[in-house]
Structure 1
Amino acid sequence: MTPAARAAAAIQILDAILRGEPAEAQLTRWARASRFAGSGDRAAVRDLVYDTLRRRRSRAALGGGDNGRGLILGALREAGADPSTIFTGEGHAPAPLTPAEAAGGRAPTPAETADLPDWIAQALSADLGPDFPAVAEALRDRAPVWLRTNLARATPESARAALAAEGIEAEPDPRCATALRVTAGERRLQSSAAYREGLVELQDLSPQMACAALEVGPGTTVLDYCAGGGGKSLALAAHGARVTAWDAAPARMRDLPARAARAGVRITAAGTGGPRGQFDLVVTDVPCSGSGTWRRTPDAKWRLSPEDLAQVTRTQAEIVARAAAHVRPGGTLAYMTCSLLARENEEQVAGFLARHPGFRLQEAVTWTPLTASDGFFLAKLLR
């Protein structure tokens, strides 16, 4: 595909996303319908779409329109490229610019350069204080790719060597002993022997640091109460913990048995009636706005509404209240989100403690792209 044809594909996909289609589903649909597109083309179109969603407001200003054509025109102007070389109308290129499109566009305002909905920018500015501008800028860029060394199978050094043998370069990080940041060859990861054989798992630095902050070892009983795909279950089981995983939507856990087998760890799935008994540690990585991960899922920040946030905070409170019953006396309830919003983090914990005087706060940590990678929150609550 030519650069112009890639731009035309991105315009088509962006228009579908702006109509409400999830970005990942739309990209998958386009790739399946576009057999002529090679792997390099698919990757280039994907990057263009995601980069544009991360910078939707500023590129809409530059391009003079919040639609596929306006956004791609804004991307070209941002890059200093001549749009007339792309919008030619020849072959599979986008149609030539109209006079209005050619004359339109302007420099984005400071609010638009944050590339966030105004109501979210106001909330994050209040919550993050002086860090807000730098965090907002970081959320406009692509997230790094991080791996967690599976200590049940490898050491960080042996995992790096295995990856390097297949052309994948990764660097350790002093903030977390298991973390490796991929610096080259990331598109080879999921077909690599190191991944297939369970030496490494894809997991961002911030949740790795959160898991490392939990004191577990051989024999520690753990309930992963909102297990999802099981990333935290796998990380804790690699330290020898006896992990039981449960999720209100069991389909989210469908790949966990295969992942556990690949990782060489044992994870018990709770029955259909839900978990029973009490545990040394109960982990609740609750549903949230995902604001800390918007570099990876940038379409989500444009879909979130104040009503959505209000509903998700109610859900969080309900989940953590139910999970608390499974914490043994002397045990720990770990409350986690991948959000940067205090309403989902500190305020949620304060409300829980007010309603549950049998718990006390041991520690609360917020990680941001300035201190780790994704935005992430952990509160350790002792019973």
Structure 2
Amino acid sequence: MTPSARLQAAIETLDQIIGGAPAEKALTAWARGSRFAGSGDRAAVRDHVFDVLRMWRSCAAHGGIAADAAPVQMPGVAETEMRSITTTETPPGGTLSGRALILGLLRQSGDDVDALFNGQGHGPATLTMAERGVLAQAPDIAPLVALDCPDWLAPTLRADLGEDFSPVMEALRSRAPVFIRVNTARAAAADVRAELAQQGITAQPHPLSPTALHVTDGARRLRASAALADGRIEMQDAASQAVVDMIEGLQGARVLDFCAGGGGKALALAAKGAQVFAHDANPARMADLPARAARAGVSVPVLSTADLPQAGPFDVIVADVPCSGSGSWRRAPTAKWALTPERLAELVEIQAGILDQIAALAGPKTRLVYITCTLLACENADQIAAFLARNPGWRPGATRRLTPCDGGDGFFTAQVHRA
């Protein structure tokens, strides 16, 4: 496919998303209907679509979408979560479309729009007079639109991030870096780097964690690598690895990963010599964990909720709780636009409930490790302060907050101990 044809495919996919289709479903449908597209084509179309999803507001504004246009369904979320977005004022009559969004994307990146919208082959039709009129005007973009920040959440983010607000929001507009975790129980990082280099994959050490490698070239070759197949590496964000590194005394410790999800942290804990047990409120999320654990050369028994009272005592209970995910909006950009005040309040309540649940499972010497991938204090430090106020028999321990400006996703972790 030509670069123009890839843009047209992204336009058509975005139109499906605007119509309410989840992003992944729309991309899968396009790929299945476009058997002629190679892996490079599919990757390029996906990149275009996700670039727009990360920068939805600014792409719309640069593409000429009027501020007083009809409310817009947010991309790729359930109908009950649909919200409106606002953009800066532009020439009247603009309507949201995949074409306008891609124009806005190209305008921000400085690409030659005329060369790409040339009406040739399977590419986009040539620019209309109205579109040329939009492109001829110097854009007047409001600061929050330029940062692709939801208006309602901006005051909270400003208060919680302080001087980091603008740099963090800017970082969330770009693609997330690719990281792998080296299973140092089975391989040395230097040996893994050398092997990957022979396969055209360039990976560099990262300061966030001694087990983290930043893949700077050839990331799409990782899926076919022997190191991934035999459990010497796992895909895991560097900040996610860093919060595990903070947990001391893991060798031989009995550890419960209470909100295990796919099991990335459970495997990282096991690689440090812990005896790890995994639990999740939705056991289906852990479906791949036994196979991944076997590849990594560890055993991670899965516990049901009914099993938990008899499975202890645990030395450490880790809870990577459900959260707004604001620290990982680069990876899941639709979550930024789907979040509402009501959903945030619901998440805060869920987090408090989980903290109380794991405290009830704790023995006299158990450490609780609370983890989120959010930037919001109401889900982080405020949540721990509220737990300690409810539970005077506990005392605070080590905490750490990471933002995308540190290189990985945004994460928060706090440990609490029996007083």
- Cα distance in structure 1, aligned partners of 2:26 and 2:361: 40
Task: Please state if 1:12 is matched with 2:45.
Answer: no
- Which amino acid in the other structure matches residue 404 of structure 2? P
1:86-105 alignment, distance < 5 Å? 86-104=116-134
CA RMSD of aligned residues (A): 1.6
1:47: Cα distance to partner?
A: 0.9
1:283: Cα distance to partner?
A: 0.5
Task: Please state if 1:77 is matched with 2:77.
Answer: no
**Counterpart residue number, 2:403:** 368
Q: Is the 8 A contact 1:332 1:382 kept in 2?
A: yes
**Counterpart residue number, 1:197:** 230
**Counterpart residue number, 2:149:** 116
1:24: Cα distance to partner?
A: 2.4
Secondary structure in 2 aligned to 1:143? coil
Secondary structure in 2 aligned to 1:329? coil
Q: What percent identity do the matched residue pairs reach?
A: 55
Secondary structure in 2 aligned to 1:330? coil
**Counterpart residue number, 1:40:** 40
Deviations 1:258-285 (A, max 9, x none): 0000000111111362422331100000
Task: Please state if 1:323 is matched with 2:358.
Answer: yes
1:95: Cα distance to partner?
A: 3.4
- Which amino acid in the other structure matches residue 186 of structure 2? R
Which of 343, 349, 353 is equivalent to 2:378?
Answer: 343
**Counterpart residue number, 1:152:** 185
Deviations 1:205-250 (A, max 9, x none): 1110100000133320000000000001000001111111000101
**Counterpart residue number, 1:226:** 259
Aligned residue pair count: 383
**Counterpart residue number, 1:30:** 30
1:28: Cα distance to partner?
A: 2.2
1:26: Cα distance to partner?
A: 2.2
Q: Is the 8 A contact 1:333 1:380 kept in 2?
A: yes
1:255-274 alignment, distance < 5 Å? 255-271=288-304, 273-274=306-307
1:32: Cα distance to partner?
A: 2.0
**Aligned pair in 2 of structure 1 residues 289, 38: CA closer, same or farther (>3 Å)?**
same
1:60: Cα distance to partner?
A: 1.2
- Cα distance in structure 1, aligned partners of 2:265 and 2:97: 38
Q: Is the 8 A contact 2:208 2:239 kept in 1?
A: no
- Cα distance in structure 2, aligned partners of 1:91 and 1:131: 45
TM-score (norm 2): 0.88
Deviations 1:182-209 (A, max 9, x none): 1111000011011111111111111101
- Cα distance in structure 1, aligned partners of 2:33 and 2:249: 47
- Cα distance in structure 1, aligned partners of 2:365 and 2:191: 37
Stretch moving more, 282-291 or 161-170 = 161-170
**Counterpart residue number, 2:165:** 132
Stretch moving more, 61-70 or 336-345 = 61-70
Task: Please state if 1:288 is matched with 2:323.
Answer: yes
- Cα distance in structure 2, aligned partners of 1:321 and 1:208: 25
1:122: Cα distance to partner?
A: 2.2
Structure 1 unaligned blocks of 5 or more: none
**Counterpart residue number, 1:275:** 308
1:89: Cα distance to partner?
A: 4.0
- Cα distance in structure 2, aligned partners of 1:94 and 1:81: 14
TM-score (norm 1): 0.96
Q: Is the 8 A contact 1:349 1:379 kept in 2?
A: yes
**Counterpart residue number, 1:68:** 98
Stretch moving more, 144-153 or 243-252 = 144-153
- Cα distance in structure 1, aligned partners of 2:128 and 2:217: 41
- Cα distance in structure 2, aligned partners of 1:331 and 1:37: 53
1:92: Cα distance to partner?
A: 2.2
Structure 2 unaligned blocks of 5 or more: 66-95
Task: Please state if 1:254 is matched with 2:287.
Answer: yes
- Cα distance in structure 1, aligned partners of 2:157 and 2:19: 26
Stretch moving more, 134-143 or 224-233 = 134-143
Deviations 1:332-351 (A, max 9, x none): 10010000011111111111
1:90: Cα distance to partner?
A: 4.1
Stretch moving more, 121-130 or 81-90 = 81-90
Secondary structure in 1 aligned to 2:148? coil
- Cα distance in structure 2, aligned partners of 1:153 and 1:17: 43
Secondary structure in 1 aligned to 2:210? strand
- Which amino acid in the other structure matches residue 229 of structure 1? G
Task: Please state if 1:377 is matched with 2:416.
Answer: no
- Cα distance in structure 2, aligned partners of 1:19 and 1:215: 49
- Which amino acid in the other structure matches residue 75 of structure 1? L
- Cα distance in structure 1, aligned partners of 2:234 and 2:245: 15
- Cα distance in structure 2, aligned partners of 1:150 and 1:213: 17
1:326: Cα distance to partner?
A: 1.7
Which of 303, 310, 315 is equivalent to 2:345?
Answer: 310
Q: Is the 8 A contact 2:321 2:372 kept in 1?
A: yes
- Cα distance in structure 2, aligned partners of 1:41 and 1:344: 39
Secondary structure in 2 aligned to 1:35? coil
- Cα distance in structure 2, aligned partners of 1:336 and 1:244: 17
- Which amino acid in the other structure matches residue 93 of structure 1? G
Deviations 1:60-118 (A, max 9, x none): 11111243111101122223333333334444223343332221262422221111111
